Amino acid sequence: MREACLVVRSHLGQGRGAPKSKELLSSSSLVLQEWFRVSSQKSSRASKVGKYLEALGELSPALLAHVINLSDGNGNMALHYSVSHSNFDIVRLLLDTGVCNINHQNKAGYTALMLAALATMERQDDMATVRRLFDLGNVNAKASQAGQTALMLAVSHGRQEMVEALLACGADVNLRDEEGSTALMCACEHGRAETVQLLLAQPSCDASIADNDGNDAAAIAREAGHDNLAALISAHLTPSADR
């Protein structure tokens, strides 16, 4: 692994069009496989990942950044897998390097931050790591396929603690996906009363926004059979109309 890293290091900085020798291709493949084996399994251990990061940094800061940001055939980096596996000790180590490309989207269009909005918290301090990820990354990035944000994903999956954390870290409550839907509309469709109340409590929340079909959040709530939520939104909008 060390020898392969040295080969890769010697070729860093060369343009994409530069010819690649068999030795470089073989070494690059070995480094990628070993890195994902160590860092990206459910059973991966932070202690071992930490030793790899330390060794890579000693060889070259550029090599450390290169390896951390490697992606597999699905476009996932170690950060994606660590978040998905709730290996937040590893997530913390990756963030500590300061060179992890947090906003990298995989081939499905998701960043690790978006996946974190759906992650399971196994320990109390895991949320601190998630909040740090939200702070460091683009909390308002949209997934390339449907245009959903991390906030929309958290709302649709009923992850109230993530909704609160995202809002605290600057998530825009009025962003719309490709269908024109907002997080509030999503909460209404799923009948999430607590989330609707939280979103409406945001000073910037515009409950009058309509989707591509011309339906606002109240209309979506009524259509989904959640008349209580429709009434809540109507009551919220009434003072604005009177002014």
Give ranges for CATH 1.25.40.20 in the chain. Answer: 1-108, 139-242
Quote the CA–CA distance of 167 and 174 in Å, as a whole number: 11
Q: CATH number of the domain at 1-108, please?
A: 1.25.40.20
Mean pLDDT of the region 11-35: 85
Contact 155, 192 (CB under 8 A): yes
Average pLDDT, rounded, for the chain:
93
Quote the CA–CA distance of 6 and 64 in Å, as a whole number: 12
Measured in whole angstroms, the distance separating CA 90 from the mean position of its chain's CA atoms is 15
- Residue 243 predicted with pLDDT over 50: no
Q: Which two tokens stand for residue 29?
A: 């493949």
Which residues are bridge partners to 210 per DSSP?
216
Quote the CA–CA distance of 138 and 149 in Å, as a whole number: 10
Mean pLDDT of the region 134-145: 95
3-state secondary structure of 216: strand
Confidence (pLDDT) at 15:
63
Mean pLDDT of the region 176-193: 96
Longest dimension (CA), the chain: 73
Measured in whole angstroms, the distance separating CA 45 from the mean position of its chain's CA atoms is 22
Domain 139-242 indexed as CATH 3.20.20.30: no
Of all residues in the chain, what percent carry a pLDDT higher than 90?
87
Is the pTM value of this prediction over 0.85? yes
Confidence (pLDDT) at 239:
62
Q: Residues for the chain: how many in total?
A: 243
Quote the CA–CA distance of 97 and 229 in Å, as a whole number: 45
- Residue 34 predicted with pLDDT over 70: yes
**CA 55 → CA 2, 8, 30, 82, 160, distances in Å?**
9, 14, 16, 20, 39
- Residue 192 predicted with pLDDT over 60: yes
